[in-house]
Structure 1
Amino acid sequence: MRTPLPGVAAACGLAAMLLLGACTATGRQASDGAAVAPSPADEAAQQSTVDTKWGPLGPADRDLIVRVRQAALWEIPVGRQAQRRAARTTTRRNLGEIARRHAGSDALARQAAVKLNVPLPDQPTPEQQSWLSEITGKSGNDYDRTAIARMRTADGLLYASIGAVRGSTRNTLVRAFAEKCEPAVRARLKLLEGTGFVTGDTLPDPPQVASAPLPGNPKQPASPAPAATALLAGR
C-alpha cells in the first residue's frame, strides 16, 4: 500500500463518512485562518437537520455547499499561479482553465448558500493554505507534479462527496446543486489527468469493499456474459 499524501487519509475518512450518511463537526475558522475548536453547542448545530421549502437540509447537504466553495478558494490561486510558473505548457493551460471554470462552481455554491442560509468561508482552510505554501515552494516539474497531485486528490474526494449527497439528500435544491457540480468536477479531473502528471503513485488507494468477484484465470479467457434481458425472459 502506498503512503498517502499528507491530509489524504483524513480526507478519505471524511468522504467515507459522507457515504455512510454522517458528517463530522469541523469547527469554525478564525479570521487569521486558524481552526477554532467547536463548542458542544456548535457540534449539535452542525449535526442538526432544518426544514426548508426545498425539503430537509442536513449536515451533509450544508457540508457539500461549503466544500465546493472551499475548493474554489484554494484551487483558483493555484491555477492562476500555474499559468505563470508551471514548467509545461499543458500544465499552464489546463490549470489556468480550471481556475477559470471554478468561477461557475463558486457562483452555484454562493447561490445555494443564500437560499438555504448556509454560511460560507472566505479563505482556504489551514490545510489548504499549507498546500498552497508547499506548491509555491516548488519549481520546474516538481511544481507541476505537486500542484496536480494535490488538486487531483482533493477533487477526487469532492467528486465522491457529490455522488454521496446526490444519492441521499432529501433537499431538492441540494440535489440540483449536486447535479450541476458533478460535471464541473469531472471536467476538472479530466483537465488534471490530461497534463500527464497523474500516475498511479499520485493517487490515493482504492476504496476497500466487503466482497468482490475473484479475478479470472488469465489462461482461460472469459466467455461473454448473456444479456440481462435474456436471463429475464419469461419472468
Structure 2
Amino acid sequence: MTGAFVVGGAVSLAAAALIYPGSSGASGIPASHDSVIAVTQWGPLTESDRDFVVKVRAAGLWEYPVGQLGLQKGNTEAVVTASRHLIDGHSALDATCRKIAPLLNIMLPNVASPQQQGFVSALTADTREQFDSDFANILRMTHGSIFNTVAKIRSTTKNTLVRVLADQANDTVLDHTTVMERTGLVNFDQTLLRQTTPPDLPSSDLTPPPPTLGQPMVVLTPPPTATSTPVDIDAIT
C-alpha cells in the first residue's frame, strides 16, 4: 500500500487483556452490545464503543488506498479532490485511533474487513471509464451507512476518548459524503437502496481480522499538504 508504512516493531498483544470484537472483554462480563466491558479513567467502555474504534480504523485501511487509487485513475477534478479528502481525513482519524486504542486497551486491525477489501479490489479492476462512477457511489453508500452509527455513538457514549473520536469522525464522514456528492456522479436511488439494505454476507466478512501476533502496526501517512489533524489526546489525558 503506497504511502502507508509500519512502525514500532511488534504490536504488543497481551492477548488476554486486549479488547477486540468477538472477545469477551476485560471485565469477564458477558457482553451485549451496550454492556460495559471495561472501566477506564475516561469513563466506561461498552462493546459498541469498542466496535466503533475498530470500525473507524478499518475504514481508513480501505478508504486511504482507494484515495490513492483515485489520484491515479480519477478522470475528473472532482474525483481527484474527493480522493485527496479521503487520504487527508483518514490519516488524521487513524492517528487518533492509534493514540486512544492503547489507552482503552483496544486491539486494532491491520487490514480491512473482507467486504471492504472487496470494494478495493473492484475499484482496482475498474476501467478508467467506469472508475469515477463506481468510486463516487461506493464511497457515498459506505459513508451514508456509517453516518448514523457515528451519531449514535456520539450521543450515547460515556467515554471521553470515544466521544472525541466520534466528533472527529462526524466531521470527516460529513466532509467525505459531501465531496462524493459534488462529483455529480452519485445515483441516489441506487445508493440509498444499497445503504439501507443489510448486506447478504456472513458476519465474518463484515469484521476486520485481528492482527497477527508480532505483526507491526500499519500507519496511514498524512499527505504533505494535510489539513486534517488528529485529536490532541494529551490535552484530554
TM-score between the two structures when normalised by the length of structure 1: 0.66
Q: What is the Cα deviation at residue 203 of structure 1? A: 2.0
1:91 matched to 2:76: no
Paired residues of 1:95 and 1:192 also in contact (CA < 8 A): no
1:122 matched to 2:103: no
1:79 matched to 2:64: no
4+ long deviations beyond 4 Å: 25-28, 42-48
Return the match for 1:109 from 97, 104, 123.
97
Q: 1:92 to 1:43 in 2, by over 3 A?
A: farther
Q: 1:122 to 1:43 in 2, by over 3 A?
A: farther
Equivalent residue number for residue 122 of structure 2? 134
SS at match of 2:67: helix
For the residues of structure 2 that align with 1:177 and 1:60, how far apart are their CA atoms?
A: 13
Equivalent residue number for residue 229 of structure 2? none
For the residues of structure 2 that align with 1:27 and 1:145, how far apart are their CA atoms?
A: 35
After superposition, give the CA deviation of every residue in 1:102-133 in whole Å (9 maximum; x if it has no partner). Answer: 11111111112121111100011111111111
1:163 matched to 2:151: yes
Equivalent residue number for residue 194 of structure 1? 182
After superposition, give the CA deviation of every residue in 1:113-161 in whole Å (9 maximum; x if it has no partner). Answer: 1211111000111111111111111113421111221111111122111
Alignment root-mean-square deviation, CA: 2.6
For the residues of structure 2 that align with 1:26 and 1:65, how far apart are their CA atoms?
A: 10
Equivalent residue number for residue 65 of structure 1? 53
Equivalent residue number for residue 183 of structure 1? 171
Q: 1:207 to 1:101 in 2, by over 3 A?
A: closer
Q: What is the Cα deviation at residue 87 of structure 1? A: 2.1
Paired residues of 2:64 and 2:90 also in contact (CA < 8 A): yes
Paired residues of 1:52 and 1:116 also in contact (CA < 8 A): yes
SS at match of 1:56: strand
For the residues of structure 2 that align with 1:154 and 1:207, how far apart are their CA atoms?
A: 10
For the residues of structure 1 that align with 2:132 and 2:96, how far apart are their CA atoms?
A: 28
SS at match of 1:121: coil
Paired residues of 1:66 and 1:120 also in contact (CA < 8 A): yes
- Matched length: 172
Greater relative contact order (CA < 8 Å, ≥ 6 in sequence): 2
Paired residues of 1:55 and 1:172 also in contact (CA < 8 A): yes
For the residues of structure 1 that align with 2:29 and 2:138, how far apart are their CA atoms?
A: 29
Paired residues of 2:78 and 2:179 also in contact (CA < 8 A): no
After superposition, give the CA deviation of every residue in 1:77-116 in whole Å (9 maximum; x if it has no partner). Answer: 1110110112222212221232122111111111121211
SS at match of 2:153: helix
Q: 1:149 to 1:207 in 2, by over 3 A?
A: closer
Q: 1:112 to 1:26 in 2, by over 3 A?
A: closer
Q: What is the Cα deviation at residue 207 of structure 1? A: 6.5
SS at match of 1:57: strand
Q: 1:123 to 1:43 in 2, by over 3 A?
A: farther
For the residues of structure 1 that align with 2:164 and 2:116, how far apart are their CA atoms?
A: 27
For the residues of structure 2 that align with 1:73 and 1:185, how far apart are their CA atoms?
A: 15
Q: Which runs of 5+ in 1 are unaligned?
A: 1-24, 29-37, 209-235
Equivalent residue number for residue 147 of structure 1? 135
Q: Give the AA of the match of 1:121.
A: P
For the residues of structure 2 that align with 1:62 and 1:26, how far apart are their CA atoms?
A: 8
Equivalent residue number for residue 215 of structure 1? none
For the residues of structure 1 that align with 2:29 and 2:122, how far apart are their CA atoms?
A: 31
Larger Rg: 1
SS at match of 2:86: helix
TM-score between the two structures when normalised by the length of structure 2: 0.65
